Amino acid sequence: MTRAGSTILANRPPAPKDAEAIAPLREAGFIFLGRTHMTEFAYSGLGLNPHGPQPWNTMIDEGRAIPGGSSSGGAVSVATGAALAAIGSDTGGSCRIPAAMNGLTGFKPTAGHISRQGMVPLSPSFDSVGSIAQTVDDCVLLDHIMSQKREVWSRVEPQEGPIRLLLPTSIVRNEADSQVLAVFETVVRHLEAGGIEIIRQPLPILQDIIDLNLQGQIVAAEAYHYFHDDLLHNPQGFDPRVSERIALGEKISVQTLRQLYVERQKLCSRFNAELSKFDALICPTSPVLPPLIKDCEDPQAYGRFNRLILRNPSIANLVDGCSFSLPLHWRGLAAGLMLTACHGRDTALARIARRCEIRLKG
């Protein structure tokens, strides 16, 4: 059984069998090198954890910067060549954030695309099984096997013909580092020069997503339900930054949670409608460069960075969409370009991501 970056599960018996996402990979001949370090129970986008050796960013030389999370160790393993790929849960960006911050590709599929049976949950409403690798092809190969598709896998063909992307003019670039914005805008112009149409206009739903904070409330409530007994009997066993967030779920009643589910469905429908004239949404994966680990030690700074870094990737989770993060290789920047599409558009998005990938490397 995986310990999900926690000491709470240390004494539990081994899992009797592989998780349903893992079994087909093993059957296909994949070799598992081990379990990597991560944020406890995947409940943060920074990749910090006091329960073991702390991995740090592979692209920033001065000081030790955060690796991004929650799948911090997985991304660092791929970036350093210790592994060819990594898999993890993506509840609000946990694969795409560390991928972006370590110069890799991250993929979050539509949530129900891959079975989550056998994984340690954080929030069943938002958890999805994602991947981190060097290329779009590698991520899609992992996804193909884990989702147990019957057809033979073939390389992703880049989307031909017109591609129309929406670049929101608000929210996704708020509070961004100037360096991230400068390189992102340069890359956007490079994509436009390659024949990809990018429309800059408001996406009204984004402000409502921020104001309503449905995801934060639902994740806290579902996490509290699952970890209630552990939190009651062994509160000191948790990373306090994680237990504090889980405990917020105690205040959310069943009636309130039901209403949150209803409101979420409304947002999903609105997102599909507002994005209907576009193939995908494009924006920076994280609006900021990875801060130094020491700069996240203060609780207020930790909370601010965590909210900011999770903000853009979590959109795809809230609306049950699919999303790729592609590395911004220009100048070795520890940042990513994110593409997000509506529910079930995984294959179409992969073809768009593949075309962007080719253009960015060209």
- For 11, residues 6+ apart whose C-beta sits below 8 A from its C-beta are none
Mean pLDDT estimate for the chain:
94
User: Above 90 in pLDDT, residue 338?
Assistant: yes
Closest CA to 78 of 42, 36, 48: 36
What global pTM score does this model have? 0.96
Confidence of residue 1 (pLDDT cuts 50, 70, 90): low
What pLDDT digit, counting tens, does each position of 327-337 carry? 987 667 999 99
- CATH for 23-361 is 3.90.1300.10
User: Above 80 in pLDDT, residue 286?
Assistant: yes
Dihedral of the CA atoms 178, 179, 181, 185 (nearest 10)? 130
Comparing 232 with 205, the larger pLDDT belongs to 205
User: Above 80 in pLDDT, residue 102?
Assistant: yes
As to burial, measured by CB atoms within 10 angstroms (0-12 exposed, 13-18 middle, 19+ buried), residue 56 is: middle
What pLDDT digit, counting tens, does each position of 158-207 carry? 999 999 999 999 999 999 999 999 999 999 999 999 999 999 999 999 99
Helix (H, G, I), strand (E, B) or coil at 292: strand
Q: Which residue type occupies 201?
A: Q
Q: Tell me, what's the pLDDT at 114?
A: 95
- For 321, residues 6+ apart whose C-beta sits below 8 A from its C-beta are 110, 271, 315, 340, 341, 342, 343, 345
34-48, 50-64, 279-293: range with highest mean pLDDT? 279-293
User: Above 90 in pLDDT, residue 2?
Assistant: no
Q: Which residue type occupies 133?
A: A
Peptide bond preceding 70 in cis form (omega within 30 of 0): yes
Q: Tell me, what's the pLDDT at 361?
A: 85
As to burial, measured by CB atoms within 10 angstroms (0-12 exposed, 13-18 middle, 19+ buried), residue 359 is: middle
φ, ψ (nearest 5 deg) of residue 107: -135, 130
Confidence of residue 150 (pLDDT cuts 50, 70, 90): confident
Classify residue 290 by its DSSP letter: P
User: Above 90 in pLDDT, residue 362?
Assistant: no
Ordered by start, the domain boundaries in the chain are 23-361
Please answer whether residues 204 and 317 qualify as being in contact, where contact means their C-beta atoms are separated by less than 8 angstroms: no
